[in-house]
Structure 1
Amino acid sequence: MRKRIRQGGAVMLALALAWQTGLVSHVTAATAVETGRECSVTVELDGSSEELKSLSIPVKLYRVAEVSESGSYTMLPGYESLKLSEVDSDTSAQEWEEKAKTASDLVKEQTPEANAELTVTGGTGTEDGLPTGMYLVEAEEVQSPEYTYTFSPFLLSLPNNYYGSGGSDDWVYDVTTGLKPDQEERLGDLEIEKTLTSYNATVGGATFVFSVEAVKEDEVVYSDVVSVAFDRAGTRQILVEDIPAGSEVTVTEVYSGSSYENTGAASQTVEILADGTAGSPVQVSFTNTYDHGLNGGSGVVNHFDYTEAEGAREAGQSGSSTGNGTSCVTTRRQRNKGGDEMRKGWSKKTIGLAAAACILAAGATAGSAMAYFTTYAEAEGSQTLSLGMTTTIPGEEVSDWTKHIRVQNTGDYSCYVRVKVFAGSQLEGRLSFSDESGKWTPGADEYYYYSDIVAPDASSDEMKIKIDSTGLDQDFNVIVVQECTPVLYDENGNPYADWNAVADSTESSYTEADGEVAE
């Protein structure tokens, strides 16, 4: 999330305004202004970080008015609309800021050459030989590897006096002023590259889930889960956007598909580089292969967008917005390159997570300024073989921050099913599970197992997941994956599930990373 941090500047503003109001025509100094005398200005960074002081800051000065011996102003050509002759000792700080903005807009419109330029290095910079008058002072935007610094323009009179702030009414021709910086975090992107070296079309689509945890200065600044799906062997990328630059990000593959295994490290850590810098976006890579398992599986992503609008929002079908007329802004999102995209805002696009029919579910959110949408789509080009396997899909809706989950058997064979839920650390302790039928049982492996056999065209009973969104102020994903496994029978004819069963590898129904699907 982008945030703006006020830093310093209060002393500068008070001092600059004191100088300005000390020079208006209604305030009389002890002596007349020496209009032919040269002035100097020293610009300092007050109360700023050492990082900002290490940067070089270009500053331009534009002379917008002449000053008379009595301390009154005459606008120079092009700046007549400033109307400085109207100001007096009662002119407010807000009015001075508005005049500075007007002067800055005039400079942008007319593009005159600056009357003087200086560079602030090591926290200070000086320019001398300046004629008397009123000046617009503008400092350019500068960037460090992690932050962008901007500065408010202001009007400064040369010479000046400090009578308005309780000081002497003598004219000061060598003036010191300060800059008012705003500090904004720079953001960068992370690319997760996933390679699937072999794919089993019989068990259906392969879904993979990653946790993304970013830490900066011992604080968690980003935490979420993202996913990518395959309908054949190959390589795909996920782009996770808008993570604070300079943060250390740990990416962990928390779900390796229903019948696939990770062939490398489960976690990788990288430092985020700001957008536009060499090496951005940073990348991590993971490789998986088919492990000869018999479990089919798929997943559904629920994305919750945070908006600062107060009150409840209602999510329409396919992510269309409804209701109160306020806009929904997503600051971070996941993009699956190659056709799958996590939506930003309320655009109608889908996430291919498995070979299954399209399911869209949405409901009303209550008492919160967040909104919900979910998508589930058939992965283009996938094929399912009729070799005694079956296909299941998760059906769900969300209402009142409760996810209602069922698993439907859309295949030709009975099966057992199980479900697992993934979320970022910001939701730790915020998910509660309930089951009115008593048929969903939590396992030590964090799956929830459904006890009954699910026949073709039938669905499991409902399991509920309640989300506590109190105090959350960031977007987040909740990813639900479901798996199915064939019904097996023991020697006495009793049905059971073997979630670790593997296929006979001599009967290949999968392909290597040539992109082709077995037939």
Structure 2
Amino acid sequence: MKRKKLGWIIGLVALVFALGLPAISRTLAVDLKETCSLSFSPLPEYADDLESADVVVDVFKVASAIEDPGVDSYSFEATETFEALAPALKNLAAVDYTALSQQAGQIVAQSKPEPVATVSVLDKARLEPGLYLTMPRRADMTLADSLEQTMVGSTDGTEKVLSFVNTSQYKYTFNPSLVALPSRMDENGENNTVNGTDWQYDFTMTLKASQEPREDGRIVIHKQVDALGGFAPAMFVFEITAEYDGEVVYSGVEQLVLTDTTSGTIEVDNIPVGSVVTVEEVYTGASYTLVSGSPSQELADGDVELTFDFVNALVPNNNHGTSVNNTFTRNGESWDVNQRYSREGE
């Protein structure tokens, strides 16, 4: 008798689970009155470098969460700022979340709405249930100054909006990303409000980024002469070379003309960060001799410009000019050079 009773109880329990009555192994139906939290974590391989940049994430509310009657899921209702996305939000099964994230990012870039939260990677945002757009940036820069448009295709002119974060040597770019709260993450890492998994009201989002060396370094060349002389402005020419791992990554020539002052400055941008920069004065002016220059330097930090100083002394031969005509005459086994200096207009 006891065995029959035990068998009946086991059969009843099996029937309960088979009929899908409230399960013990998973959470109850979604609760849209519960506040959610959202935190962020960088990719492990970039975490140490990004920590030095004080990264924050601007969070924008794209849509409110609307309960689906009789179903353990919810739908979205677009906010006023993102009203253009309403048609796509009504058919989530057909939504390309990457494309939808880009559309939302374009709206932010154009209309510049205020975020509902700005969160560092060390904190959490407390948010109502809904659909949110996330865009990382540096804390010391505005989002508007942290956005860039990249051409996607050469045929239709489509542009892609990205946000970027610079560290001392690297540039990290982030795609705008959408996250639904509360979330349901399946075994494939897909976040969907109808996945048959437990609801997560506290969610950590991985900040996926692409990394590339910075190429926006700057050098400054300072020129100082002890006096002005001659009949034309003094011109000085500098050759700039940057090498990275033995390879020339930048080469250029710049000139500086002094007319009524004994000092001048040249600024050169877009030098690859991490390279060793050499500046050589290849033309010292017809009436000047180089007194001192600067050695090669490593451009170790893209936010700190390198300075090169050059000092010249006037040689009083009155041949100060910008036009020189050299004539070479054979003298036995050597050559004599005769220089004719021309004033402007000659």
Alignment TM class, shorter chain as reference? 0.5 to 0.7
Counterparts of 1:345-356 in structure 2, within 5 Å, are: 354=322
Report Cα offsets for 1:435-456 as digits up to 9, x if no partner: xxxxxxxxxxxxxxx569xxxx
Question: How far apart in 2 are the matches of 1:201 and 1:166?
Answer: 74
Alignment partner, residue 55 of structure 1:
53
Shift of 1:211: 1.8
* Pair 1:177–1:169, CA change in 2 (3 A): same
In structure 2, the residue corresponding to 1:55 is in which secondary structure? coil
Q: Which letter does structure 2 place at the counterpart of 1:193?
A: H
Question: How far apart in 2 are the matches of 1:233 and 1:157?
Answer: 63
Alignment partner, residue 138 of structure 1:
135
Alignment partner, residue 7 of structure 2:
none
User: Among residues 68, 89, 104, which one is paired with 2:93 in the alignment?
Assistant: 89
Alignment partner, residue 197 of structure 1:
226
Question: How far apart in 2 are the matches of 1:153 and 1:61?
Answer: 10
In structure 2, the residue corresponding to 1:145 is in which secondary structure? coil
Alignment partner, residue 267 of structure 2:
239
Alignment partner, residue 285 of structure 1:
310
* Pair 1:149–1:131, CA change in 2 (3 A): same
* Pair 1:240–1:73, CA change in 2 (3 A): same
Whether the 8 Å contact between 1:193 and 1:284 is mirrored in structure 2 is yes
1:45 has 2:42 as partner: yes
Question: How far apart in 1 are the matches of 2:91 and 2:106?
Answer: 15
* Pair 1:80–1:232, CA change in 2 (3 A): closer
Alignment partner, residue 146 of structure 2:
none
Shift of 1:120: 0.7
Report Cα offsets for 1:48-95 as digits up to 9, x if no partner: 523113332222333322141433424154143321443333322443
Alignment partner, residue 254 of structure 1:
282
Question: How far apart in 1 are the matches of 2:175 and 2:112?
Answer: 14
In structure 2, the residue corresponding to 1:165 is in which secondary structure? coil
Question: How far apart in 1 are the matches of 2:224 and 2:33?
Answer: 74
User: Among residues 177, 182, 194, which one is paired with 1:159 in the alignment?
Assistant: 182
Counterparts of 1:122-133 in structure 2, within 5 Å, are: 125-127=123-125, 130-133=127-130
Q: Which runs of 5+ in 1 are unaligned?
A: 1-28, 299-353, 356-390, 393-415, 418-449, 453-489, 502-519
Report Cα offsets for 1:269-319 as digits up to 9, x if no partner: 3455878x6x75734222233175x9x687xxxxxxxxxxxxxxxxxxxxx
In structure 2, the residue corresponding to 1:210 is in which secondary structure? strand
User: Among residues 485, 498, 517, which one is paired with 2:336 in the alignment?
Assistant: 498
Counterparts of 1:319-338 in structure 2, within 5 Å, are: none
Alignment partner, residue 148 of structure 2:
none
Q: Which letter does structure 2 place at the counterpart of 1:40?
A: S
Whether the 8 Å contact between 2:27 and 2:199 is mirrored in structure 1 is no
Q: Which runs of 5+ in 2 are unaligned?
A: 1-25, 139-164, 340-346
Count of equivalent residues: 274
Whether the 8 Å contact between 1:273 and 1:282 is mirrored in structure 2 is no
Counterparts of 1:298-377 in structure 2, within 5 Å, are: 354=322
Question: How far apart in 1 are the matches of 2:289 and 2:110?
Answer: 63
Counterparts of 1:199-238 in structure 2, within 5 Å, are: 201=230, 207-216=235-244, 219-229=247-257, 234-238=262-266
Whether the 8 Å contact between 1:189 and 1:273 is mirrored in structure 2 is no
Question: How far apart in 1 are the matches of 2:45 and 2:288?
Answer: 52
Question: How far apart in 2 are the matches of 1:107 and 1:206?
Answer: 51
Shift of 1:231: 6.4
Whether the 8 Å contact between 2:223 and 2:310 is mirrored in structure 1 is yes
Shift of 1:134: 1.6
Question: How far apart in 2 are the matches of 1:242 and 1:108?
Answer: 29
- Aligned CA RMSD, in angstroms, stands at 4.2
* Pair 1:132–1:154, CA change in 2 (3 A): same
* Pair 1:148–1:170, CA change in 2 (3 A): same
Alignment partner, residue 373 of structure 1:
none
In structure 1, the residue corresponding to 2:296 is in which secondary structure? strand
Identity of aligned residues (%): 24
* Pair 1:60–1:287, CA change in 2 (3 A): same
Shift of 1:157: 0.7
Whether the 8 Å contact between 1:40 and 1:130 is mirrored in structure 2 is yes
Whether the 8 Å contact between 2:102 and 2:176 is mirrored in structure 1 is no
The structure with more helix, counted as a fraction of residues = 2
* Pair 1:284–1:171, CA change in 2 (3 A): same
Shift of 1:156: 0.7
Question: How far apart in 2 are the matches of 1:118 and 1:95?
Answer: 24
* Pair 1:196–1:56, CA change in 2 (3 A): closer
Whether the 8 Å contact between 2:89 and 2:95 is mirrored in structure 1 is no
In structure 1, the residue corresponding to 2:92 is in which secondary structure? coil
* Pair 1:287–1:192, CA change in 2 (3 A): same
Question: How far apart in 1 are the matches of 2:260 and 2:39?
Answer: 66
Report Cα offsets for 1:224-247 as digits up to 9, x if no partner: 222334568833333323323454
Shift of 1:210: 2.0
Shift of 1:40: 3.1
Counterparts of 1:176-187 in structure 2, within 5 Å, are: 176-181=204-209, 183=211, 185=214, 187=216
Question: How far apart in 1 are the matches of 2:173 and 2:286?
Answer: 50
Q: Which letter does structure 1 place at the counterpart of 2:120?
A: T
Question: How far apart in 2 are the matches of 1:162 and 1:195?
Answer: 65
Q: Which letter does structure 2 place at the counterpart of 1:170?
A: T
